[in-house]
Amino acid sequence: IYAVFTQNAAPVFLVQIDPFSGTARQFNAARGTHPWGLVVGPDRCLYIGTAGDAAQGGLLLRFDPRRPEDGLVDLGKMAESETYLWSLAAGEGDDCIYGCTYGNGKVVAYNTRTGERRDYGTLRAGQQYTRPIVVGKDGWVYTAVGTTEPDYVALDPRTGQHRSSRPAARAGVPVPELAKGGWGRFRKGTDGHAYQQDGGAWYRLVAGQAEPIAEADLPPAETPALVDGRQLVEVTAEGTWRLIHPKTRAISEGRFSYTSAGMQPFVIGDGPDGCIYGSTMLPLWLFRTDPRTGRHEVLPNPSRAGGELYSLCSLDGILWTFAYPQAYVSSYDPTRPWAFGDGPENNPRNFGTMGDGHLRPRAVIVGPDRNLYVGSYADYGELGGAMGVFDPRAGKVVESYRHLIRNQSISALAYDPISGMVFGGSDIAGGGGTSPSEKEAVFFAWDPVAKALRHQGVAVAGDTCTVAMAVAEGRVFVVTAPSQTLSVWDIAEARWLDHRRIPFGGVIPVALGRHSDGQIYGLTRRGVLQIDPTTMTVTQPARWKDGVHAGWVMNADGITFVSGVRLVRWEWPR
């Protein structure tokens, strides 16, 4: 059994598990992050595709079980332009493996015998994603492109020609399986043919053409097996594996150990019990640290989502979490036993999603009537996020406004209890695979009683994203990027008072707030930021040598932030 793991403090690693003896060996890569693609090649070597930035993503790694002393061999990028290898598939009779990508929506190939690479180029202009990938016994390569104009595509790797693999009767009809960034639904059957699902129906793929079949004629998916016939059920990050024999249905299982350099928290927040809570990304784990005792524990996933928590918010003894994808809402009471589910007896309790326009719930605040206001980025393939209102007493979404700012996502929120207004800022970015249609981020004032915008306008010409905001002394303090400008809005006079650059590095998203001493504090990539709300002066009271990567908790003890895989606290000067 082979399992490949991601980590943030070091590159990916592979664990080789012998289910007969129960032993395991770990092989660490020299570079590469977020392994997505994994396949056994025609040469009986294991190939891994990575995802990440230009240096760490889009790499192809090889492990030869016959030469374990070579470890994970870095074969470089399959295509210089691509940063993700989503999926890999072995070719038919051509010694190749094929990969599908993110960046420019390509299919790429690597010949395991000669080392030759081939870049088949972007399959559909404007489509940045291809995923997943399968090769039929006809030798054709099949994938799905997206996300703004999704389609199924067939590629003849011998000629490089490609076309839609949908039947003529389905041409022009949306593919429900590919909506909102959905992955293509393929299988390679036990008969060797590739199959695709389109509109709920299955089609056999032969020479790039889709042939309709009855569901009863759909063969089982080809499933790898051990020499004794057992098939893999799961390998878990907790260090367990489970196999099943397809004929006897007998289950065998075991444990293995590995060493990890650690995962970087994606976000942290202040819990209702004085602890700091946070989330990892892919996989999603909730963790809890008690700064009073130093005790740290990893909890299970509190959500129906599998990506990461984007926001955490404590209210009336409950920790509310908002997760990607689809902005799933959950509540957790730290005083009660853990029993995740959907009912009132459960803890954490899942309340479902925030609805249309909510994919990445970046901004969450306690607003009027102690409701939770949620600002989100749009779904895959779409422009225009949403601002929603979740009533924690009723346990449901009571308001949601898609395209509150036309074709823009809602990236920052703040509430002024004196005026009763909710203020927000946008980001021109849409969901994955889109290109912005607007030019500048917008600042807005929302009247929650009239349920109407009272103001909207550009804070800084040319800036495309609202990074963070806070309210103090009758003013709204707004940070926009890429200029990293602090703009100050006078609430009563409804005008801009000041604009000034922040010279201490980029501000961490939604990491800005007012402390009990009356000052505004925040985080930049370099350290702690302080703003005097009266004079509007900006200073850096502390700099952290290893950099700041995520935030944030501000409480009576100080400001806690993420630096690499560690939590760091800056204590208030005494």
User: Quick check: is 35 in a domain?
Assistant: yes
User: Quick check: is 118 in a domain?
Assistant: yes
Confidence of residue 201 (pLDDT cuts 50, 70, 90): very high
C-alpha–C-alpha distance, residues 400 and 373, integer Å: 9
pLDDT in tens, 30-55: 999 999 999 999 999 999 999 999 99
pTM above 0.85, yes or no: yes
pLDDT of residue 281: 95
Confidence of residue 139 (pLDDT cuts 50, 70, 90): very high
User: Quick check: is 205 in a domain?
Assistant: yes
User: Quick check: is 45 in a domain?
Assistant: yes
Do residues 83 and 58 lie in contact, with contact meaning Cβ atoms separated by under 8 Å? yes
Alpha-carbon Rg for the chain in angstroms: 26
Do residues 160 and 120 lie in contact, with contact meaning Cβ atoms separated by under 8 Å? yes
- Among 434, 469, 501, the domain-final residue is 501
pLDDT in tens, 373-385: 999 999 999 999 9
Query: Would you state the torsion angle of the CA atoms of residues 378, 347, 368, 559, taken in this order, to the nearest 10 degrees?
Result: -80
Distances (CA, A) of 418 to 80, 203, 261, 300, 474: 54, 61, 47, 39, 8
DSSP state of 15: E
pLDDT of residue 92: 97
Domain span including residue 203: 31-222
- Among 200, 222, 244, the domain-final residue is 222
pLDDT in tens, 416-472: 999 999 999 999 999 999 999 999 999 999 999 999 999 999 999 999 999 999 999
Please list the residues that pair with 14 across neighbouring strands: 4, 27
The secondary structure of 197-259, three-state, reads EECCEEEEEECCEEEECCHHHCCCECCCCCCCCCEEEEECCCCEEEEECCCCCCEEEEECCCC
**Backbone angles phi and psi of 180, in degrees to 5:** 50, 45
Count of domains observed in the chain: 2
pLDDT in tens, 71-90: 999 999 999 999 999 999 99
Provide the token pair at 45: 């070597």
CATH number at residue 148: 2.120.10.30
- Among 202, 222, 242, the domain-final residue is 222
pLDDT (average), residues 99-116: 99
User: Quick check: is 312 in a domain?
Assistant: no
Contacts of 229 (CB under 8 A, 6+ apart): 245, 246, 247
Provide the token pair at 135: 């090769």
Confidence of residue 61 (pLDDT cuts 50, 70, 90): very high
Do residues 480 and 463 lie in contact, with contact meaning Cβ atoms separated by under 8 Å? yes
pLDDT (average), residues 288-306: 96
User: Quick check: is 93 in a domain?
Assistant: yes
pLDDT of residue 366: 99
pLDDT of residue 221: 97
Do residues 536 and 500 lie in contact, with contact meaning Cβ atoms separated by under 8 Å? yes
User: Quick check: is 265 in a domain?
Assistant: no
pLDDT in tens, 247-285: 999 999 999 999 999 999 999 999 999 999 999 999 899
pLDDT of residue 451: 98
Confidence of residue 313 (pLDDT cuts 50, 70, 90): very high
pLDDT of residue 190: 98
User: Quick check: is 543 in a domain?
Assistant: no
Please list the residues that pair with 561 across neighbouring strands: 568
Mean pLDDT computed over every residue of the chain: 98
pLDDT in tens, 324-379: 999 999 999 999 999 999 999 999 999 999 999 999 999 999 999 999 999 999 99
Asked if 218 and 358 sit in the same domain, the reply is no
CATH number at residue 464: 2.130.10.10
Provide the token pair at 53: 């930035």
**Backbone angles phi and psi of 572, in degrees to 5:** -60, 135
Please list the residues that pair with 503 across neighbouring strands: none
Do residues 199 and 205 lie in contact, with contact meaning Cβ atoms separated by under 8 Å? no
C-alpha–C-alpha distance, residues 458 and 212, integer Å: 53
